[in-house]
Chain A
């Protein structure tokens, strides 16, 4: 096991940030912590990277205990905090060189590992880190987190505030790193990114709701989901919520996701109901379940 977490908890004053969380991450796995803001993702990261001491429970990273062997962990993990935290007044190259030196290595020694990522920012290596764009900052931060060839990589919301193209690129990079045998623990509030992980843990209010592969999590969703659409979105939601057989109703992009309490639900019935409510351009279609639907269901 690359990461093993057993019943850890942490609270700040009266708020319980992490409550009795356990999970395991296999070697070379890309594991996602999926949850909304304030779910406790960052606190888990901070405990696993030895920045916080857990109140209860125990955890090991790369075989080292987070409390007793914290020094070993610091040598063996790469951490990329959610907030960009490199030296803004050092250049790209200086930052990388600095972190390499701290870990007692050189850029040349592990260049192979960061090559794919670094070549994209190399043209700007004389530019100060503070002057880089969001996507480039993130690539630099990842390069710095990888420069000492860590066994485990912690990425706390790496794609928050990054444009869709860079996000896609970033996940491709993670996949390639995974092939080099690095265990990756990543957190994200974006449900669409969850599908790209090997396994995910859905987390809310400091508690884990479910851990499984994204496919299994979707498969376990008990109901059929319908995309419903009409001209006035707000009125549509109101009408659906007052429909007596509705199970769940929530907006999902340009549609409303609707599930029914009954197993033998006929969409035609809903169509008639909505027409009676004076809705225009009604469209009802069955759709595939996403992780977001599952999350909404579990978080109920």
Chain B
């Protein structure tokens, strides 16, 4: 059992961190060039040079291209009209059409941004090539914003995802194990045997939960090593602070697991309830979708999501180097949560029915 507990989640960490990417790459790009001039070729070359687009095919008509899109062979069709170069030179203005496969709406949005960037870039260069020196004086000045991405300069999604996924795995494993544990004793009857012994409630509960507390630390440690070695995730803040927070956080999860097992009679029931909570916690943790864009009521609900706090703390400490003072509000909330959860768990565990 112990190898399974450690190996599977860490495999998940490696696989998910590589796969759960928000980057859109290898977009299947095709074009219909009615113009066939140096300008139109320059535009297409720009797409070809980009790492995001793979130029798959060139079609002679829009009809053919549409058919290919219907078959799923291409994601983007760029149509360059006849007289593209002439219009641009004479009227300083032309229109190109872009068709994007939007079955995956989020991906289509991102693709649109990429295409716009490339076209704009092309536009600027074209302007410079076309303008006369005298025009430049009267030309409106372009205002350009140069973004600077703090705490994750290269917008490396792995830097952002790895701490989050690590949190999920630590939470999942400890919640499932602790939730099933006491129920298992109910199922095999050892709980009844324990209940007629003079053992105290708190002794029994500590004895049951302590191993999972240790396992949680073990998982965190190996996960942090993997994220450093394989993903080279930065570790700006204090490692000790992360462990300190985790110590309290695990109490929340273990208390929750114990609470679940007090209200269930079989491992199946416990597993079902644990899954119910874990799925909500994961999807509402802010890891995959930002909490700010959720409806108001959902945002209030996330206040009860321990994973949200842990994800936030991990990112704050690892990427931003936050200190104890910075995470104090989160730490206090987590501590209160731990006290309430364990209080409920001990209260609901009864030796006599």
Contact = CB atoms under 8 A, between A and B. Distances in A.
B195 to A, nearest CB: 6
A59 B195 CA distance: 19
B197 A103 contact: yes
A99 interface: yes
Nearest to A84: B189
A50 B193 contact: no
Interface in B187-208: 188-190, 192-199
A200 interface: no
B352 interface: yes
A51 B189 contact: no
B289 interface: no
B51 interface: no
Given A51-B352, A70-B352, A85 B196 contact: no
Nearest to A80: B193
A299 interface: no
Main secondary structure of the interface of B (DSSP, over half): loop
Interface in A69-125: 70-71, 74-75, 77, 79, 81, 83-88, 99, 102-104
Interface in B246-283: none
Contact of B190 (A49, A51, A70, A85): A85
A51 B195 contact: yes
Interface residues on B, range: 10 to 19
Contact of B196 (A74, A83, A87, A104): A74
A102 B190 contact: no
Interface in A17-54: 49-53
Given A74-B196, A99-B197, A52 B188 contact: no
B353 interface: yes
10 interchain residue pairs of minimum CB distance: A85-B189, A79-B196, A85-B193, A74-B198, A83-B189, A75-B198, A102-B197, A49-B196, A85-B190, A102-B199
19 contacts: A49-B196, A50-B196, A50-B352, A51-B196, A51-B353, A52-B353, A53-B353, A71-B198, A74-B197, A74-B198, A83-B189, A84-B189, A85-B192, A85-B193, A86-B193, A87-B190, A99-B197, A102-B197, A103-B197
Interface of B: 188-190, 192-199, 351-353
